[in-house]
Amino acid sequence: MPRLIIISNRLPVTIDKKDGELFYYPSAGGLATGLNSLDTDMERIWIGWPGQEISDTTVQDQVKKDLREDGLVPVFLSQQEIELYYEGFSNETIWPHFHYFTQYTTYNDDYWDAYQNVNTKFATIVNELIREDDFVWVHDYQLMLLPAMIRKAFSKVSIGYFLHIPFPSYEIFRILPWREELLEGVLGADQIGFHTFDYMRHFLSAAYRIGGHEHSFGKLAIKKRMVNVDVFPMGIDYDKYAFPEREVGKDKVEAHVTRLQSKKRKLIISIDRLDYSKGIPQRIKSFEQFIKKYPQYRGKVTLMLIVVPSRTKVDQYEKLKLEVDTLVGSIDGQYRTFGWSPIQYFYRSFPFDELAALYKAADIAMITPLRDGMNLVAKEFIASKEESKKGVLILSEMAGAANELTEALIINPQDSNDMVEAIVKAIEMPEEEQERRLVKMQEKLKRYTVKHWASTFMNEQMNLKSVKERNTTNLLNEEKKTTLLEAYQKAEKRLLFLDYDGTLMGFQNDPKKVIPDEKLLNILEGLKADPKNKVVIISGRDRHTLEEWLGHLGLDMAAEHGVWIKRRNEWKTPDLKKDWKPDVRHVLEGLVERTPGSFIEEKEYSIAWHYRMIDKGLGEKRVREFRDVLLYLTANLDLQVLEGNKVVEIKNAGVNKGKAAAYWLGKDSYDFTFAIGDDSTDEDTFRALPEDGFTVKVGLGNTDARFNVLDVENVRDLLEELQK
């Protein structure tokens, strides 16, 4: 049976040692809740750091033994590793950078070295436990290198990765000196998940611009693998916050609620971990602006500000704590009366029963981070109103949760006027409107719970593995290759059609630089030297380029998708018109003028617009803009518009690679036919071959070819085997 291997920075337990005895407490958190609620019969193993330094090997052995009973495997880190890898690179480099606080990003090679070393330490432990049929799920920014490390050791294992924080825009991400390593590390996974479409879009942009990996509807081809990138917004344990009395007792919760509501004032709650990404000072200043602008609400509204201590030794957090303390003190000192404090400030965490009561008692929740991956506090507040249907959520548009909780009062956390007016609107909102908004948000949260999040991710990963196994049924594996080679060896007369770009040679930004290398020339010479072979290069290239690059080999060739045919060292072409080219060229010149970096390639009987050196999205936008114009121009001219890999080509409609292939097939009889190519124009060649012909598409996807290979390297390996 396959197992689920969960890997996160922290294990879902906290270890405490008292009087030489070890105690284990379950850690609170959405991740543990979601993964523990998965409906699956799979055995689970959870790998992570136990939360504190344990250097004594005897104690380590005891911890391993104790945790093994619950399927937990500890990764022991030294204090130095914790400081450099966790507090350093993870929280002083990745965290601020991914939250757009680049002024706080630390560029430290020692941090980076420790990050690599700890990811390697995790990989070593994972590799000792893993099996090829396991499902692996790696979590969060502390382990971005781990998927590729696991992939290197286990090429076929199914790996998922989820990032729980935002992924920044390409312009931000590119600043990091270690951007390529982090990107390629994550791309070791088969499935990569984000909370929102924006984060997914930013990641795909970085994958393309930094790694050169193009995607099709979120799917990337990475080193002979297909990688799925998708959105999986994380939910909460809805019932836990809707009905907290089931967990801690009704009397306990109600007592807290009664005490909180006894003052008969509007209660606004603000609950955050101490972090500069949460926008706490901006929130306090906006509340001060509110009580200045609307003095009629003084004494009638209280902000309960709860700040949970975090990273207290880090300089930026110490400064933030001082700023919050100063702001609260200043406002309270200026506006407090004998019976009213504008802000009740708590610098500590709250137990669940008090937190649940706060949610229930609060009239308004202000959740206004400057940047947040999701923010589950907002969802917990909405769930807590299941029974009362009274309460208003003020939510930052910069929180991932804003994509789902659209009925909240969505504000810009940097716009204090926007925040002030939202507070007023929340205070004055009729109960009927509160209920209407809450019900809509609650319906979403009931459906998209943390359990739903975990099961959806895992189901998609399992489906992806099944699809991958189905797709590989057409891959030219060893068994199918043996059949092909045996047919080749038995044949007395063979006809081989070989596409050039994307098949024999990879793509480059400048099409003129894809000159055949020595290895390719040796392969072609070897195939041509066999008297049983007729080798035909069948390409969209112009005849002059093919002649310059390959003419000395004496091969037969088809240029411009079959417009020109070279047989017995003589080029021929049918009587085709080309008086249409000036009009089309004029349109394409307009494209070039509007799109710096693109260019026109003119052939004798066709003309192409290349956009390989510009942003793919811009190129595709230009194609959409001019497609109708091109179709109108070519409609009555017997022309065809071909959209290839970052190229649009206009050519005569009556000529294609299939007709060119039929020309050679009609000149002689062959007992072995073979064609290989990578794009839509090669499909005509595949269809032209007899049913017993061996047709091979380079890349995955729908095709009329019998087999697939993954890349140019596979093509060359196959041709070398034929040559031998």
Catalytically active residues, by annotation: 499
668: helix, strand or coil: coil
Residue type, position 545, single letter: T
Of 516, 631, 520, 527, residue with least CA distance to 584: 631
Degrees (nearest 5) of the Cα angle 643, 647, 651?
A: 65
Bridge partners (DSSP) of residue 15 are 24
Query: What is d(CA 273, CA 481) in angstroms, rounded to the nearest whole number?
Result: 59
Q: Using H for helix, E for strand and C for coil, what is the string for 549-600?
A: HHHHHCCEEEEHHHCEEEECCEEECCCCCCCCHHHHHHHHHHHHHHCCCCEE
The total of other beta-carbon atoms located within 10 Å of residue 217's CB is 7
One-letter amino acid at 203 equals F
Alpha carbon distance 205, 615 (integer Å): 10
Strands 533-538 and 494-498, by their bridges, are: parallel
Give the separation between CA 721 and CA 724, rounded to whole angstroms.
5
The per-residue b/e assignment along 467-496, b for 16 or more CB within 10 angstroms, e otherwise, is ebeeeeebebeeebbeebeebbeebeebbb
Give φ, ψ of 578 to 5 degrees. Answer: -140, 20
In residues, how long is the chain? 724
Nearest Cα neighbor of 203 from 163, 160, 143, 147 is 163
Q: Check residue 356 and report its DSSP letter.
A: H
Query: Is residue 155 exposed (0-12), middle (13-18) or buried (19+ Cβ within 10 Å)?
Result: exposed
**CA angle in degrees (0–180, nearest 5) for 500-503-504:** 65
Nearest to 537 by CA among 514, 518, 517, 560: 560
> Is the CA virtual torsion 556, 558, 563, 564 positive or negative?
negative
Here the contacts of 152-155 (C-beta below 8 Å, separation 24 or greater) are 152/188, 153/123, 153/127, 154/127, 154/130
Q: Give buried/exposed letters for 273-284 (b at 16+ CB in 10 A, else e).
A: bbbbbbbbbbbb
Q: Comparing C-alpha atoms, which of 232, 231, 162 is closest to residue 190?
A: 162
- Separation CA 541–CA 337 (nearest Å): 84
10 Å CB burial of residue 600 (0-12, 13-18, 19+) is: middle
CA-angle at 53, arms to 52 and 55, nearest 5°: 150
Please name the residues in contact with 228: beta carbons below 8 A apart, sequence gap of 6 or more: 190, 191, 192, 218, 219, 460, 464
Q: Do residues 646 and 616 lie in contact, with contact meaning Cβ atoms separated by under 8 Å? A: yes
- Phi, psi of 692, deg, nearest 5: -85, 5
Alpha-carbon span 309 to 556, nearest angstrom: 75
Q: Contact, 491 vs 531, CB < 8 A?
A: no
Secondary structure class of 540 (helix, strand, coil): coil
